[in-house]
Amino acid sequence: MEIVMLGTGYAMAENCYNTCFTLVNEEEVLLVDAGGGNQIFQQLASAKIPYQNIKAMFITHAHTDHILGAIWMIRKLAALIHKKSYAAPFHIYCHDQAADALLQICRLTLPAKFIREFGETIILHTVEEGDKALAAGMELTFFDIHSTKLKQFGFQAILPDGRKLACLGDEPYNPECRRFVEHSDWLLCEAFCRYEDRETFHPYEKHHSTVRDAGTIANKLGVKNLLLYHTEEKSLSTRKERYTAEAQSVFGGNVFVPDDLERIKL
Ligand SMILES: [Zn+2]
């Protein structure tokens, strides 16, 4: 299994793509969020991930930087299905509010022939906390991250070898999610900037956390590997080194601060 980061930036990033990634199990791929536009196509092409392998997509929430790329994915896969170049079905998982937003945007912006694929070849699963799904050889369990801004879900994935991965979406950890996150082998967590740079980037006003906050949580929860994403983009050339150093000052496990298109073996 590997994770391929398609984007690592926050919503307004111009120098990298919005945070989204794939979990790849040989030929089977789960896409998690799709960034804010049709740059998702370029990211998938650069990562050499064929559309045919993407069998499922999970959308954390309906903010622009996560859901608009999903509209493009639906358009692309519906077109491929029409050309008989994709083996349907394509499964989409998200909570009710994200499902509503997705369907509304699709109805307003996509040709009717593609909308007709919903329920036929494109299956939209509205999930609630605790619901499970199988994707790319993993068992996923979805959970509410208790966002203060907009309803958002994360997920726990049991990898094919039994190890656990938790994705917290793009907001700070809430203790109500403890049972889905504690003792994870992998924790995917947002970190808007370093604690040291909090006066420059104001993460707390944006309901985001710092690298030090994420590291502290990971340490407390007994996580083995911490992957940080959804960051500011003013420090991309030094981000990996500086973020890693700050996280390691409070967390004893492995720290990963990937660049766009980086692949990490799980
Ligand atoms: Zn975001």
**185-231 tens-digit pLDDT:** 999 999 999 999 999 999 999 889 999 999 999 999 999 999 999 99
Q: Where are the domains of the chain?
A: 2-265
How many angstroms does the Cα of residue 87 sit away from the middle of ligand 1?
30
- Please check the confidence at residue 172 and state whether its pLDDT lies above 90: yes
- Residues linked to residue 123 through DSSP beta bridges, in sequence order: 91
pTM: 0.98
Percent of the chain with pLDDT over 90: 98
How many angstroms does the Cα of residue 125 sit away from the middle of ligand 1?
22
How many angstroms does the Cα of residue 84 sit away from the middle of ligand 1?
34
How many angstroms does the Cα of residue 20 sit away from the middle of ligand 1?
9
Element (H, E) at 96: helix 96-109
Determine the Cα–Cα distance for residues 157 and 165; give it in Å rounded to an integer. Answer: 5
DSSP state of 176: G
How many angstroms does the Cα of residue 61 sit away from the middle of ligand 1?
9
The first and second tokens of residue 202, run together, are: 């104001």
How many angstroms does the Cα of residue 32 sit away from the middle of ligand 1?
12
How many angstroms does the Cα of residue 65 sit away from the middle of ligand 1?
5
How many angstroms does the Cα of residue 148 sit away from the middle of ligand 1?
13
Computed over every residue of the chain, the mean pLDDT equals 97
Please check whether residue 209 is in contact with residue 172, taking contact to mean a CB–CB distance below 8 angstroms.
yes
Q: Provide the CA 143 distance to its chain's centre, in angstroms.
A: 14
Nearest to 6 by CA among 36, 43, 39, 41: 43
Please check whether residue 33 is in contact with residue 60, taking contact to mean a CB–CB distance below 8 angstroms.
yes
**CATH architecture label of 2-265:** 4-Layer Sandwich (3.60)
Residue 148, pLDDT score? 87
How many angstroms does the Cα of residue 97 sit away from the middle of ligand 1?
16
How many angstroms does the Cα of residue 167 sit away from the middle of ligand 1?
13
